Structure 1
Amino acid sequence: MNENHPRLVASISPEWSIPQVADALSRALAGDGPALAAAPISQQSVPAEISVVVPTSGSTGAPKEVAFTSAALLASARAAHKFLGAEPGEQWSLLLPVNHIAGINVLVRALELSVPVVGIEDAAAYTAIVPTQLHRALHGDQQLLSHLQGCKAVLVGGAAASSHLLESARKANISVLTTYGMTEMSGGCIYNNQPLSGVEVKISATGNIQLRGPMMAAGYLNNLSAWKNATEDGWFTTSDLGELVGKEIRVTGRSDDQIISGGEKISLGAVEKFLSQEFHEQEFIACGVPDLEWGTKLVLLSNLDINIESVRDKLKNSLGAHAVPKGFLTVENLPLTSLGKPDRTIARELYLAAN
């Protein structure tokens, strides 16, 4: 990034209305105002070419301040609209927080279609949600359900959605499509397992998904070495493991959600995904806690009473004996991030506090 002629930064304030955020974003993208930070960042100015900064959640370490050019964010919006067949004048609804790239993306797309975003109370052609919101729409949130049913397409991303949840949504006349991506790629860049226009995908020697495209971020403002380590020849190496099946990319797990228990590697995401398919009405979070015997032991949290014997048998038969949890806890509400991902840090604390 060019350090000459730094540009001032304005951070989104919780007091700002959505029209105020959209106006600040529009001016930032056009170069007529300061760069916009989705949340407070460590710097008061950024390189001149940077328009937007989105701090990551920091779920795997200290938050990284991801910097974007206008060209990257607009490339993402245009690729999404090309896939959807969106036309100027069609509206997006904003159902996600604007301190994440997913919310920023909705605003950029609305600017591209020259129509302000609307809320849940108004009709929209397109929207973006996380699986938790989809689950709530199908289990009692009538206003959200009605809104989603009225959309031409509902983008579901931020976390993996089970096949049962997606099928239930389609049966409820919600036109869902899955998105995969990360902040560093301006959010979702794979729709229904297909790369958007301009996106290239390959699998590294270690099995990690690598992505390249015009929507890639410019770097981490506060961690240049981490960006250098994650990128090579224009490719961004993700923490997701995957495979290419024909023209489709399939995510099979994460390289950073594994624990080693008794010398055996266990994928927490694989355990959660399997259980969500076996117990459709129940939610689970798997995490590791310190243990004298196992080093780290696998424990399981759920929002409903756990049929321990059934869970043990199913996991043992499908994933192996090492994937059977050594501890169980039922909590009223599972801890999730604002984008619906499991918050394993809080889950671990809840388990330890209860035991």
Structure 2
Amino acid sequence: MSPLLHPLPVPAGPAVESILPRLERALRGEGPPLLPVPESDARESARLADALRPGEPIDDVPDADDVALVMATSGTTGVPKGALLTSRALRASGDATHRRLGGPGAWLLTLPAHHIAGMQVLLRGLLAGTTPVIVDVTQGFDPAELPAAVAALTGPRRYTSLVPTQLVKALDDPAATAALADLDAVMLGGAATPLPLLRRAQGAGIRVVRTYGMSETCGGCVYDGIPLDGAQVRIADDGRVLLGGPMVASGYRGLPGHPAFAEPGWFRTDDAGALVDGVLTIRGRLDEAISTGGLTVVPQVVESVLADHPAVRECAVLGLPDDRLGQRVVAAVVPENGRVPTAEELRAHVSEALDPTAAPREIRLVDALPLRGPGKIDREALRSAWNR
């Protein structure tokens, strides 16, 4: 009989340590498959349960008996999918990560553990035989907590994983910046890292390791553009990135035959990229490209240019319907402290680097960007707010 999927309520804050024994059994391939859900968010837990059906058998893939975790995607379509991750895939991911970083170590958790990035912090610590130090982010990330948390980590190697918005906040706090610089590596993923942010962190002595991956690949499987041991990268004819290797999921919960897993051992992403001399560069999501005035604009490319402007702290670019252009490019900008950039200067800044058609026709200054999941910009929320 196929194993039943069991819910795994994931507490917030230090109480997350209570789930470590169950995760340890999952890594060993023992016990039932687990669906992590946020214990403190009944609405989100119900949404995940409705989509991924805990309590019912897992019979979606031939190796269902080996599934250890069903990790929910962040659900850009509004309906989350569940990546079926085996214990073998999770161990392959964790072991390859430690080899790339220089060896096993202690991990600092600053992310929600029901998402793959936070979950991997816990799993890597278990593989290393260390107990995680936990920063409670229930009420948001407070960089002032980093110095004490980093000091509590035991050696010989110490790591953490952040999303770019957290790093932006940490760099505004000298004590938090110094604490991060004391770590052997700061993994940075969940969203593209603006080049100015990377330069600023590196200038402060922080060893940033940019990661690329998703729930379907047990989290990051490409570090600083280079695949981890065992991971593989291909670029399809349409520029789509394909990821392969032992850390790839077995499929999606309840979606046998999904085209993303049509080729055994490979996952078809929704990202466009280029592979030059073995180094992967992500250009942006294929489904977020903007067609404006006959030109295709990739939002992430425009965001990278905007982020290089000294008055821009964070930004998000999207396309809105336009009767004349098909779509018009617009941008939401979080200004740098004390600066108020004008639309004209930001348009000129983009036009100097890209085709003028890519320059945003409207710019709105906002206090913060809406997020979905850990660190990913919620473009649909921005689009809805823009049209109000």
Scaled by the length of structure 1, the TM-score of the pair is 0.91
Which residue is equivalent to 2:100? 83
Aligned runs of 1:276-315 on 2, under 5 Å?
A: 276-279=307-310, 281-304=312-335, 305-315=340-350
Give unmatched runs, 5+ long, in structure 2: 38-47, 59-63, 135-145
Which residue is equivalent to 1:189? 221
1:271 equivalent to 2:302? Answer yes
1:246 equivalent to 2:277? Answer yes
**Residues 311 and 122 (structure 1 numbering): CA distance in 2 closer, same or farther, change over 3 Å?**
closer
Q: Tell me how far apart the structure 2 counterparts of residues 56 and 190 of structure 1 sit (CA, whole Å).
A: 18
The secondary structure found in structure 2 opposite 1:278 is coil
* Aligned equivalent of 1:57, options 59, 71, 74: 74
Q: Tell me how far apart the structure 2 counterparts of residues 230 and 81 of structure 1 sit (CA, whole Å).
A: 27
Q: Tell me how far apart the structure 1 counterparts of residues 195 and 316 of structure 2 sit (CA, whole Å).
A: 17
**Residues 148 and 272 (structure 1 numbering): CA distance in 2 closer, same or farther, change over 3 Å?**
same
- Whether the aligned pair in 2 keeps the contact of 1:329 and 1:351 (CA below 8 Å) is no
Which residue is equivalent to 1:322? 357
The secondary structure found in structure 2 opposite 1:177 is strand
* Aligned equivalent of 2:172, options 139, 143, 146: 139
Which residue is equivalent to 1:336? 371
* Aligned equivalent of 2:126, options 107, 111, 119: 111
- Whether the aligned pair in 1 keeps the contact of 2:111 and 2:118 (CA below 8 Å) is yes
1:206 equivalent to 2:238? Answer yes
The secondary structure found in structure 2 opposite 1:282 is strand
Scaled by the length of structure 2, the TM-score of the pair is 0.83
In structure 1, give the amino acid aligned to 2:298. Answer: S
Which residue is equivalent to 1:36? 34
**Residues 244 and 100 (structure 1 numbering): CA distance in 2 closer, same or farther, change over 3 Å?**
same
- Whether the aligned pair in 2 keeps the contact of 1:189 and 1:196 (CA below 8 Å) is yes
Which residue is equivalent to 1:348? 383
Deviation at 1:287, TM superposition (A): 1.4
Deviation at 1:144, TM superposition (A): 3.4
Deviates more, 1:104-113 or 1:13-22: 13-22
> How large is the Cα RMSD of the aligned pairs?
2.0
**Residues 13 and 128 (structure 1 numbering): CA distance in 2 closer, same or farther, change over 3 Å?**
closer
* Aligned equivalent of 1:180, options 209, 212, 217: 212
The secondary structure found in structure 1 opposite 2:211 is strand
- Deviation by residue 1:139-165 (Cα, 9 ceiling, x = unmatched): 13x553243122111111111112221
- Deviation by residue 1:27-48 (Cα, 9 ceiling, x = unmatched): 2233443322122432223232
In structure 1, give the amino acid aligned to 2:234. Answer: K
Deviates more, 1:239-248 or 1:33-42: 33-42
- Deviation by residue 1:177-199 (Cα, 9 ceiling, x = unmatched): 11111211111111121111001
Q: Tell me how far apart the structure 2 counterparts of residues 64 and 249 of structure 1 sit (CA, whole Å).
A: 26
Deviates more, 1:205-214 or 1:256-265: 256-265
**Residues 280 and 74 (structure 1 numbering): CA distance in 2 closer, same or farther, change over 3 Å?**
farther
1:223 equivalent to 2:240? Answer no
The secondary structure found in structure 2 opposite 1:277 is coil
Residue identity (%) = 36
In structure 1, give the amino acid aligned to 2:107. Answer: W
Deviates more, 1:70-79 or 1:319-328: 319-328
Aligned runs of 1:92-111 on 2, under 5 Å?
A: 92-111=107-126
- Whether the aligned pair in 2 keeps the contact of 1:127 and 1:154 (CA below 8 Å) is yes
